[in-house]
Amino acid sequence: MDISKEIAVPETLDHFQPNGFSPYHFFSSEEWAQFRADTPLTLTGDEVSRLRSLGDPIDLQEVRRIYLSLSRLLSSHVESSQLLFEQRNRFLNLSGAVKTPFVIGIAGSVAVGKSTTARVLKELLARWPSSPKVDLVTTDGFLFPNAVLQSKRMMDRKGFPESYDVAAVLRFLSAIKAGRPDVPAPRYSHLTYDVLPNEFTVIDRPDILIFEGINVLQSRDLPADGKIVPMVSDFFDFSIYIDADEDHIHDWYITRFMRLRQTAFRDPNSYFHRYASIGESEALEIAEGLWSKTNLRNLRRNILPTRPRADLILRKGVDHLIEAVALRKL
């Protein structure tokens, strides 16, 4: 049987299927939209506008096309996970075991729309008929403080895997998966571009946790002695990668930077306030430098290589909207 003919592959995802073999099913956005079935639309246009990030054009039509089907898929995964939990407890003759949260990891480059996806999913999932408790945590708070990065001469690699306190991430997710109450997650300010000292968001046994960050699917070198080396993704029940052509992400990043000069950068407390008053050509040159020296390198070296580890890949087109979907086969 020629499995390459099992499902037509949209041209935008051809590069995921070398020689016709792939662990994924592929769908155009139109095909994917059909899987929403009778899933109700529980968001309003105003709510979607509030949830989307600067420069992200997502609207109710995009929620209908992509996110209702995704919500329905995740609902089936959560239900199956709960059923497996109960079956395993019976198998092991366990009683009183604490049900652990279903953890969804969301990865992808800067400026690709991870935050919008995470916020929209959080609202949709929380409005299921069962009214689950859904929390959202980003990895920004787990970055080393700027003072530490500066002392290690790593500010130009902020966002690279080595700029995160991975041990703290693993402790946090381990506590979440253990069902512990009131687990603190460190907070981050995009205004000051730094971790907020002694400020935390308390996560108290949610039914679903969305964990979003550029490197959450990052793997690690395996030890020769076979000792357990946990990875962040080991704690995920489902993972999503937001994907787009490198050139598109570059354009979105530059456009966002230039727009922020007219908004957030004008705040005197902003770490980037100095860029608000310089000329446009100089600002553009700085934005291009930040992209090429930090974000592009991180994308090529660390982020993009994790794409094949995702359960679901949402592929965006030049208009910043999803044009194709890849779902890992069972």
Supply angle C-alpha 102, 104, 106, rounded to 5.
170
Residue 229 marked in a binding site: no
User: Residue 187 CB: number of other CB atoms within 10 A?
Assistant: 16
Query: Could you give the strand order of the β-sheet that contains 134-138, starting from the edge strand earlier in sequence?
Result: 24-28, 322-328, 312-316, 238-243, 102-108, 208-212, 134-138
CA 201 to mean position of chain CA atoms? 18
Residue 108 marked in a binding site: yes
In contact, 258 and 282? CB cutoff 8 Å: no
Residue 115 marked in a binding site: yes
Residue 159 marked in a binding site: no
Q: Count of alpha carbons within 13 Å of 19, Cβ hemisphere only? A: 0
Residue 109 marked in a binding site: yes
Residue 112 marked in a binding site: yes
Binding-site entries: 108-115
Binding-site entries for ATP: 108-115
